[in-house]
């Protein structure tokens, strides 16, 4: 363990001109002051090099129990969500405690190297033994020094449609799951789906848990469980603690329906999580041409004042064979796919992988403010635009004043023989 930092100097901050010095005391930011010019750093200080410093990246939606299992026991040849679930159901029969711990820990270390310090993972609890859940509860403790990990009790094969699904969800919460999940569009019937949403919301409310539902992850415009989730969140006054993940079907809803739906969404205050790389890969598989992108209405939700965050969803698993833990890659793809490359969107784009994700995770101590934990990342670039252009690794990741990651600046032109 390195000595804790006293300060970060020569930092640029989002939305503010000039350079800043971030003072650190006892693992928290004790002051943020403007600098007149670039200064030489002293021992115990980190030089940000006039690069942008932000709060740490947040990964709000990942499946760590399935990470690094692509091709096991077979590859998803169709590229569909449903074949992915079939492949996972086969792989799930061979899960062991140590297997899950090894792959999940490896993935979290990869995340930490990319500046991620907060993660929400969905863990499949449609397993009578709850093998993955019990392993992930251990991982949460083992990795606490470098990652804050939330665990979602996720009923991959349904709550109503899987034998003892409700009992398994209740047991997962009793064992220590932080968040209650769901998958209404995968239940056998529409009625099952709606009932599952009402039931899981009551379970979360009764046990003071957050909610994160895989909602309408399908191109079918008739899949409308989002309205059920939003109505329940409004009824229980729970909206800020409820995340709607995916909502891919919203990209296929007609505008008249959306105009009514958005009124409810704004009243409910739901958080939204979109996984652009995976949705582009999985959705539109039943279209010839034109092919749908399968991504929810991200800019429209943002313009309505709702919080939207991007996540990776998968790291080399049956649903998505790629993934490297780099949130900037996910952000770049999402901005392209959602037609969000106007400069005003780019200037605020880092919110999609920082503060909006923190809102979904309901974090109460997050951000670059005096008194907050001294957690931040130093990016390569002086602005969000430069950071996105370069797509280069974080220069440093700091957690409670300790340096977790430190690397030298990289320059694409290095080694060019001209």
E-strand ranges in 26-146 read 28-35, 45-47, 53-54, 57-62, 116-124
| Residue 224 CB neighbour total at 10 angstroms | 20
Fold of 7-55+370-406: Urease, subunit C; domain 1 (2.30.40)
pLDDT of 81 above 80: yes
pLDDT of 125 above 80: yes
Reported as a single tens digit per residue, the pLDDT across 33-74 is: 999 999 999 999 999 999 999 999 999 999 999 999 999 999
Burial of 166 per CB tally in 10 Å (0-12, 13-18, 19+):
middle
310: left (phi over 0), alpha (psi -120 to 50) or beta: beta
Mean pLDDT value across the chain? 97
Q: Is 222 a catalytic residue?
A: no
Provide CB contacts within 8 A for 261, sequence distance 6+: 226, 227, 230, 250, 253
Beta bridge partners of 399: 402
Reported as a single tens digit per residue, the pLDDT across 301-344 is: 999 999 999 999 999 999 999 999 999 999 999 999 999 999 99
- Read off the pLDDT band of 144 (50, 70, 90): very high
Reported as a single tens digit per residue, the pLDDT across 346-363 is: 999 999 999 999 999 999
Q: Is 328 helix (H, G, I), strand (E, B) or coil?
A: helix
Domains 7-55+370-406 and 57-360 are alike in CATH topology: no
Beta bridge partners of 148: 118
Reported as a single tens digit per residue, the pLDDT across 240-266 is: 999 999 999 999 999 999 999 999 999
Residue 1 has a pLDDT of 55
Residue 3 has a pLDDT of 84
Provide CB contacts within 8 A for 215, sequence distance 6+: 182, 184, 185, 225, 226, 229, 244, 245, 246, 247
- Read off the pLDDT band of 413 (50, 70, 90): low
Please tell me the distance from the alpha carbon of residue 13 to that of residue 21, in angstroms, as a whole number: 10
* 57-360: CATH superfamily: Metal-dependent hydrolases (3.20.20.140)
pLDDT of 23 above 70: yes
Average pLDDT over residues 351-376: 98
Residue 12 has a pLDDT of 98
Domain boundaries, the chain: 7-55+370-406, 57-360
Give me 338's structure tokens: 């959602």
Q: What is the CA radius of gyration of the chain?
A: 21
DSSP state of 392: P
Residue 411 has a pLDDT of 75
Average pLDDT over residues 190-219: 99
pLDDT of 412 above 70: no
pLDDT of 204 above 80: yes
Reported as a single tens digit per residue, the pLDDT across 277-305 is: 999 999 999 999 999 999 999 999 999 99
Residue 415 has a pLDDT of 60
- Read off the pLDDT band of 410 (50, 70, 90): confident
Q: Which residue has the higher pLDDT, 215 or 1?
A: 215
Catalytic residue among 23, 59, 83, 217: 217
- Read off the pLDDT band of 414 (50, 70, 90): low
Residue 418 has a pLDDT of 61
**Residue closest to 382 by CA, chosen among 54, 34, 32:** 54
Q: Which residue has the higher pLDDT, 295 or 409?
A: 295
pLDDT of 166 above 60: yes
């Amino acid at each position: 363990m390195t000595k804790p930092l006293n300060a970060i100097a020569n930092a640029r901050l989002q939305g503010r001109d000039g350079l800043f010095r971030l003072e650190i005391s006892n693992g928290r930011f004790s002051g943020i002051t403007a600098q007149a010019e670039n200064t030489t750093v002293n021992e115990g200080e980190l030089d940000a090099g006039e690069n942008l410093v932000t709060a740490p990246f947040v990964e709000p939606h990942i499946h760590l129990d399935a990470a690094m299992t692509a091709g096991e026991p077979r590859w998803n040849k169709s590229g569909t969500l449903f074949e992915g679930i079939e492949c996972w159901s086969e792989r799930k029969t061979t899960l062991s405690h140590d297997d899950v711990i090894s792959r999940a820990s490896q993935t979290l270390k990869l995340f930490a190297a990319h500046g991620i310090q907060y993660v929400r993972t969905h863990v499949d609890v449609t397993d009578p033994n709850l093998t993955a859940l019990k392993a992930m509860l251990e991982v949460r403790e083992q990795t606490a020094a470098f990652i804050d990990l939330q665990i979602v009790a996720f009923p991959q094969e349904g709550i109503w449609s899987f034998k003892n699904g409700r009992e398994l969800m209740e047991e997962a919460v009793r064992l220590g799951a932080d968040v209650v999940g769901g998958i209404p569009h995968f239940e056998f019937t529409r009625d099952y789906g709606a009932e599952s949403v009402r039931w899981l919301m009551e379970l979360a409310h009764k046990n003071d848990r957050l909610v994160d539902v895989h909602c309408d992850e399908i191109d079918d415009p008739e899949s409308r469980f989002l309205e059920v989730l939003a109505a329940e969140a409004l009824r229980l006054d729970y909206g800020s603690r409820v995340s709607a993940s995916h909502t891919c079907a919203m990209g296929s809803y007609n505008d008249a329906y959306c105009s009514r739906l958005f009124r409810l969404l704004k009243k409910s205050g739901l958080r939204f999580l979109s996984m652009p790389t995976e949705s582009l890969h999985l959705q539109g598989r039943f279209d010839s041409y034109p092919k749908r992108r399968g991504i929810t209405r991200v800019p429209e939700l943002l313009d309505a004042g709702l919080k939207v965050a991007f996540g990776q969803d998968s790291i080399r698993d049956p649903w998505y064979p790629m993934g490297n833990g780099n949130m900037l890659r996910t952000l770049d793809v999402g901005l392209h796919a959602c037609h969000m490359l106007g400069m005003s969107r780019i200037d605020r784009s880092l919110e999609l992988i920082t503060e909006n994700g923190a809102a979904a995770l309901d974090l109460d101590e997050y951000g670059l403010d005096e008194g907050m934990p001294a957690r931040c990342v130093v990016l390569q670039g002086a602005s969000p635009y430069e950071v996105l252009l370069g797509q280069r690794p974080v220069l440093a990741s700091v957690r409670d004043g300790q340096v977790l990651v430190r690397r030298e600046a990289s320059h694409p032109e290095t080694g060019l023989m001209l």
